[in-house]
Structure 1
Amino acid sequence: MPSFKNAEQRKLYLIMRAFKFGNIFGTVALALYAGRHFLGV
């Protein structure tokens, strides 16, 4: 974990990291949903 000068930087880092993970999960969920929709599985 990188070192932070203050709590604000740390908070921003955690938010960005959570957002990145959210994007990955969102993309996977969307792909699964689209695949089921188009393939009728």
Structure 2
Amino acid sequence: MSATAWIAVGLAYLAIGIRQPAFIAIGGAFIAIGIARRNGGGKSP
């Protein structure tokens, strides 16, 4: 997935996290991956 897609998925998990707090950590991890990819880390899909 592209960096933007990782971040979008992360935001979706954060929205779910409003009702299911465990998803907040998962969403944060997806966003961190997206930011790392946007900054040039990991070129593979």
Q: What TM-score does the superposition give when structure 1 sets the normalisation length? A: 0.49
Greater RCO, CA 8 A, separation 6+: 2
Higher helix share: 1
Q: What TM-score does the superposition give when structure 2 sets the normalisation length? A: 0.45
Which of the pair has more CA radius of gyration? Answer: 1
